[in-house]
A = this chain, B = another copy of it.
């Protein structure tokens, strides 16, 4: 298959679309494609097209869209991954793998034991970095949809937002079996997936008892019985397990 590029303005066959600067650079400098070369274009909202390079100059690459192509199927359940920001660059890998697994939205959160502040995240332009990672992961794994990376927020804001939804169990919060409360296991979930759900995963240091109580008030607490997982492995394992439970793998 031809190399895939992200062009958010692509809408219909026949159009001439300009690639964003990052994508243009990738096409020219890394893949060294030229005028007339075939490519695949996706718009990040589910549409995918054949395309031909029509103009290629530094940071100015235009593609003539050809036939619309069938794009990879998206999961039937729209999962928002609400992930407490992990240390160092571990959150980069979480975003990359969550996009690969098929989440609809990533909501970075700051909880009591998260070792970074909202201000530091903003100053470090971390959200913009995660957006670039989401594009690159969608390119690599063939998704035609690029999940939104929401503005980071504190755990309380997330939970308040979920409570306002007024639907049953809008959140599934993953907690340690030792969290000291009744937790459900994966097989307690209905085999039929909800239409949308927020999957809440904590930081290296886990949740405080107050956070677990708030989580229990807005949805269900889930734990993997008998297993202790590293914080950075947790989101991928949780997503794989949920998609498997719901027949979406």
Contact = CB atoms under 8 A, between A and B. Distances in A.
B187 A247 contact: yes
30 contacts: A72-B227, A72-B228, A73-B225, A74-B226, A97-B233, A100-B227, A100-B228, A100-B229, A100-B230, A100-B233, A101-B227, A101-B237, A102-B227, A140-B228, A140-B230, A141-B229, A186-B244, A186-B247, A225-B249, A236-B240, A237-B240, A240-B240, A240-B241, A240-B244, A241-B241, A241-B243, A241-B249, A242-B244, A244-B244, A245-B245
A185 interface: yes
Nearest to A241: B244
A189 to B, nearest CB: 10
A76 to B, nearest CB: 10
Stoichiometry, as copies per complex, reads 2
Interface of A: 72-75, 97, 100-102, 140-142, 185-187, 224-230, 233, 236-237, 240-245, 247, 249
A16 B187 CA distance: 42
B230 A233 contact: no
Given A140-B230, A240-B241, 13 more contacts: A141-B229, A141-B230, A142-B228, A185-B249, A186-B247, A187-B247, A224-B249, A227-B249, A236-B237, A237-B240, A240-B240, A241-B249, A244-B245
Contacts of A237: 101, 236, 240
Given A185-B249, A187-B247, A249-B241, A226 B100 contact: no
